[in-house]
Structure 1
Amino acid sequence: MKENLSKDNKKLLLIDDDPNLILLVKDYLEFRGYNVATAENGREALEVLDRHIPDLIICDVMMPEMDGYALVKHIREEPTTNKIPVLFLSAKGQSQDKVKGLNEGADVYMVKPFEPEELVAQVESSLNQIKRWEQGRPRSLDGAPSIKVPHNVELTPTEIKVVQLVAKGMANREIAEKLNVSQRTIESHVSNMLNKTSLNNRTELARWSIESSMA
């Protein structure tokens, strides 16, 4: 029986090109009560991120297709993902390697091999930091962080269509296909709406659209 230690179904994304490590770490984290999605490299991870936004990302550094540095750079540049904590895993344990990983945008740098309990402790520490930050934000009556946007926000007709589909849980790729435009166009609309509303991610954008009766 799995230990559900009050993890509140937190979603993790685990990225590594070593299938044995993926199997071991995924099984251990799921045993501790987390929901774990996986990817074998950075490009595959981006496809997962287009469909689901995790609470934390655990990422190998050296991978084919797209390495951890390139992936975290992309994550930090996108408004929908730039707040997600990233935990780097790497066989390189020199001080300069750790400094580079943290400077590139990772929040935690762990050296392989590592003890599973240490990984769990780092994951829980990162998630607890987010929880403490969220507890300091204004909250609505249902206990969720209240969605506050500037009072003079105006969306274009196309942006309204996009946010309505975001609220339905559709990924950018699916919205692009439905509206017969490129995925990059949809990403641009989402980014513009996040800038207009000062919201942090697609989840907040979707909730705002529902609360304001747009969706």
Structure 2
Amino acid sequence: MSRAARAARVLIADDEPLVRAGVRAVLSTDPGLEVVAEAADGHQAVELTRGHRPDVAVLDIRMPGLDGLGAAAEIRRTVPGTGIVMLTTFGEDEYILRALGDGAAGFLVKSGPPEELVAGVRAVADGAAYLSPKVAARVIAHLADRGSGARAERRAAARDRVAALTPREREVLAFLGAGLTNGQIARRLGLVEGTVKAHVSSVLARLAVDNRAAAAVVAHEAGIVVPPSGPGQ
């Protein structure tokens, strides 16, 4: 059965049972998502991911034993078809940056609204990236080293990198920053999805980033993010 014909299968990993129950309850409100497994630590998350092959693994960054970052790296290595969503709290900027480098595609704040959790998991299940606006702001602030001069330099550098893209690539990057999938971008731009996929690959290569989430950070830094247009985008 194709991914389009079934609900996205999700694994939840958090050492707090109450958090797992809350995430499951929120995701269960969307018929397009199905929680197939729960893990209480990173090692269990890796093993269950290997066994269940979910479309998305939602991982808490801080877990006993193998933490969420270690689990994410191992899942990316052994089950590359599973997208990674990291659950974060404020004050974990360094962890978020490491997760970006390890290929995580989604970053959500535990204290965020329930609809953001659903949107983020669905986006990653559809092959897109999703940065909670709060997470994006924290990442950008951290990268700026909390100095106004450094922040200005990073924004200028991001604008220079974006200026090297073609006009169409800049449009695609702006939608990547908003967390849109290839299909959603195609509808917004009146293109076929295959063409958008080619543009995304070109954007990643020209920005010298490894994944859509890292490209989204560049879009946020450059100030070109296009706000979503509502349900279905």
Root mean square deviation of aligned Cα: 2.5
Cα–Cα, structure 1 residues 114 and 50, in superposed 2: closer, same or farther, change >3 Å? same
Q: How many pairs does the alignment contain?
A: 129
- Which amino acid in the other structure matches residue 120 of structure 1? V
Aligned to 1:31, the other structure's residue is in SS state: coil
**Structure-1 residue corresponding to 2:123:** 125
Question: Where does structure 2 lack aligned partners over 5 or more consecutive residues?
Answer: 129-180, 184-192, 195-233
**1:30-69 alignment, distance < 5 Å:** 30-33=28-31, 34-36=33-35, 37-69=37-69
1:72 counterpart = 2:63: no
8 A contact 2:8–2:34 mirrored in 1: yes
Cα–Cα, structure 1 residues 94 and 7, in superposed 2: closer, same or farther, change >3 Å? farther
Q: CA deviation at 1:85?
A: 1.2
8 A contact 2:15–2:41 mirrored in 1: yes
Report the Cα distance in structure 2 between the residues aligned to 1:7 and 1:18, rounded to whole angstroms.
33
Superimposed CA distance per residue, residues 88-123 of structure 1 (whole angstroms, 9 cap, x where no aligned partner): 001244544432221132112222212111111111
**1:84-103 alignment, distance < 5 Å:** 84-93=82-91, 95-103=93-101
Choose which of 95, 104, 107 in structure 2 pairs with 1:106. 104
Report the Cα distance in structure 2 between the residues aligned to 1:24 and 1:10, rounded to whole angstroms.
18
Cα–Cα, structure 1 residues 96 and 66, in superposed 2: closer, same or farther, change >3 Å? closer
Which protein is richer in helix relative to its size?
2
8 A contact 2:49–2:75 mirrored in 1: no
- Which amino acid in the other structure matches residue 38 of structure 1? E
8 A contact 2:14–2:39 mirrored in 1: yes
Aligned to 2:85, the other structure's residue is in SS state: strand
Report the Cα distance in structure 2 between the residues aligned to 1:18 and 1:126, rounded to whole angstroms.
23
Runs of 4+ in 1 over 6 A off after TM superposition: none
8 A contact 2:106–2:121 mirrored in 1: no
8 A contact 2:87–2:110 mirrored in 1: yes
Superimposed CA distance per residue, residues 27-50 of structure 1 (whole angstroms, 9 cap, x where no aligned partner): 121121221121111111122123
Report the Cα distance in structure 2 between the residues aligned to 1:127 and 1:49, rounded to whole angstroms.
14
Question: Where does structure 1 lack aligned partners over 5 or more consecutive residues?
Answer: 1-5, 137-215
8 A contact 1:55–1:85 mirrored in 2: yes
**Structure-1 residue corresponding to 2:11:** 13
Report the Cα distance in structure 1 between the residues aligned to 2:92 and 2:72, rounded to whole angstroms.
20
TM-score in terms of structure 1 length: 0.53
Report the Cα distance in structure 2 between the residues aligned to 1:114 and 1:95, rounded to whole angstroms.
16
Aligned to 2:15, the other structure's residue is in SS state: coil
User: How many percent identity over aligned positions?
Assistant: 29
Q: CA deviation at 1:25?
A: 1.0
Aligned to 1:75, the other structure's residue is in SS state: helix
Bigger Rg, structure 1 or 2: 1
